[in-house]
Structure formats: C-alpha cells, structure tokens
Amino acid sequence: MTAPPPARINLLDLDRRDLEAFFVSLGEKPFRATQVMKWIYHERVIDFAAMTNLSKALRERLAERAEIRPPAVALDQASRDGSHKWLIRLDSGNCIETVFIPEPDRGTLCVSSQIGCPLDCSFCATAQQGFNRNLTVAEIIGQVWQASRSLGDARNGNRVITNIVLMGMGEPLLNFANVVKATDLMQDDLGFGISKRRVTLSTAGVVPALYRLRDVSEISLAVSLHAPSDELRNELVPLNRKYPLAELLAACRHYIADRPHRRVTWEYVLLEGVNDSEAHARALAALIEDIPSKVNLIPFNPFPGTRYRRSGPAAIARFQAVLLAHGLTAVTRKTRGDDIAAACGQLAGQVQARGRRLERAARAAR
C-alpha cells in the first residue's frame, strides 16, 4: 500500500527563522525565506505560481510541500462609526472575531488568540461562549493578513493598520508559544513591520507566563484589572484566585523594569454599582501608584444575558477625576462598533465549547 503524501506545511505558521530552516531542508539558501515573506506579507500573494523571482522548479516543489492558507472570512461587517469586524471561520463550526478601529492618528486591529476563552470573567461575552482550543500561528497572523488585504493596507509607508492589540477572544498568555511567534511576525520588517511599542498583549494575569514573556519579548503590556481588591477581582476575574493582585503587580513591575518610557496599561471596565465608586477609584490609585501606568476606563458594553449595567456618564467622570487627582493618566475609551457587537467585551464568535474550567487554564499556564 502506498503511503499517503505528507501533509503540506502552512508557511503562515513559520516565523523568519523557521522559514529559513524550511528552505535549508529543501536544499535551498536561507535567503529564499526573505523572498517568500515579502510575497506573503508585503504583496499579499499566497499563490506560489505568482512568485516570479523564484525558479519554476522551486515553485513546483513548494506547491507540493507547502501551502499559504490564511483562515477564511465568513462575514465582513462595517459599523456606522467606521469600525470593521470580520467573522473568521476555522474548523468544526468554530469562528473567531477580529476588529479594526480607525482613529484620526492610528488604525488599531484587535486580534483573537483562542477559540473562546477558559477564564470565565463574568462581564465578558467571550467567556460565556466557553472554550475550544488555542489558535495556531497561522490563525493568529492570518487575521492580520486578512484584515490588511480587506482594508487595502498601503505598501508605500502610509499604513492603514498602525497598531495591533491582542485583546480579542481568548487569553494570549495561555497560548504562549504561538502568540510569541505571531507577534514576532507582526514586528518583523519582512512581516507587517509594526513597532514593538505598537503591538500590545492584554492579559488577565497569568503570572508565570508574564515572567516568561519578559525573557522573549518587548511588546507593550495591558492588564485586564477591573477591580482594586482581591475580594472583588475574585468575583469578576476568577483567575485572580490563582494569581492574586500582589503577585500580578510584582510581575508587571518586573516586566517594565529597566525599560525606559515603558508603562503598563490597566483596563478597567466600569460596572454600575459594582466597581465604579469614588472609593474604588481611590483604592485603584493606591494600588498602582508606584508603577508607570495608564488607565483605560471602559464603559461596559452589554451582551444578551448579562446581569451587569454600564456605569452612567457622571459616575465615569467622577471615577476618572479621582485618578487624575492622584497624578495618574486616565482616559475613557470611546465605545466603538457596538452596533455590530464589535465593542470591548462583546466578541463572541461561534464556539463549540469543550469546557472552560479555570483549573485547566491554570495548569496550562504553569
């Protein structure tokens, strides 16, 4: 019986070093990786036959051994405010969501790292969908590829996507290896060429992985905080029971230590009558006073079945005023894309859940 041919390698799963090794394994020079990366990420070409600076023989070998397969777009939605959301179809009925938010001085792409999320934060629509699996490198970087192609990202230096945030579906640090490789591709000049200060990873506080991240990356850090005390954060962000605030803040201090001009962005969703009082604001200011910080105050974006309500404008203004009075940088994030369920905390996708037990997530983080 003839053995089936080996599965083709998706080159979107390979960073520059991996791609160089792949070409060496084919008996080619490492510089072939440079040529192919430019075709993929600069020209948005995924057909080997169109890569005209490669020999015909090499193009034929690549077609036999490899593929360039970004995840498919199932739905493309535009918001009345200019935001954009793509529903990305993966496998077995699973979909993730990717969102682009334009501003006068930047264009930010919000990327997912998992199908669903195992952390079960009570105010987040993604968490209510359960958890299926981690995304591959190709599925993470493929979101950027599809968005840049859809938006017509310019190739003359006038970029449409200027910032990338891993704030979509999932906890990035529970998919550590694939996220690090994908963020390397985001920053690579042969990839999307985004500055390390313009690539931001948002975590709920997977402390051991945060220490590991410091060793391999200099991307910007955002932390989903949402409460100034362990008692309240245990309720809103159950991962806090595993890694309480003292441990999380120590890891954050370590991450930005000896990195000039770096700071931690704290994400704080304001929930009416839950975490939005002036006393909460004073406690938050005291908690982070010794850490270079920016606080993003996020009005809660409701989703079907939630028990929470958005804090009113007056309460948000009072909360912000307290932080400003304590010398902190605090901004209120404008709600964008809520008419297409693309706002912060609303991403749900379609998840064939395999469970979302916190212990499974905690074990994966060790």
Burial of 16 (0-12, 13-18, 19+ CB in 10 A): middle
> Is 344 labeled as catalytic in the residue annotation?
yes
List beta partners, residue 214: none
Grouping H, G, I as helix, E, B as strand and the rest as coil, residue 315 is: helix
161 within 8 A of 154, measured Cβ to Cβ: no
Sign of the CA dihedral running 5, 11, 16, 18: negative
Q: Which residue is catalytic, options 20, 95, 97, 139?
A: 97
The amino acid at residue 281 is A
Question: Is 97 labeled as catalytic in the residue annotation?
Answer: yes
CA-nearest of 242, 251, 262 to 212 is 251
Q: Which residue in the list 110, 117, 252, 344 is annotated as catalytic?
A: 344
Token digits for 72?
A: 């498919």
**Cα–Cα distance, 111 to 198 (Å, whole number):** 13
C-alpha 48/C-alpha 156 separation (Å) is 24
Single-letter amino acid, residue 94:
N
Separation of alpha carbons 186 and 113, rounded Å: 14
DSSP 256-271: HTT-TT--EEEEEEEB
The residues carrying an active-site annotation are 97, 344
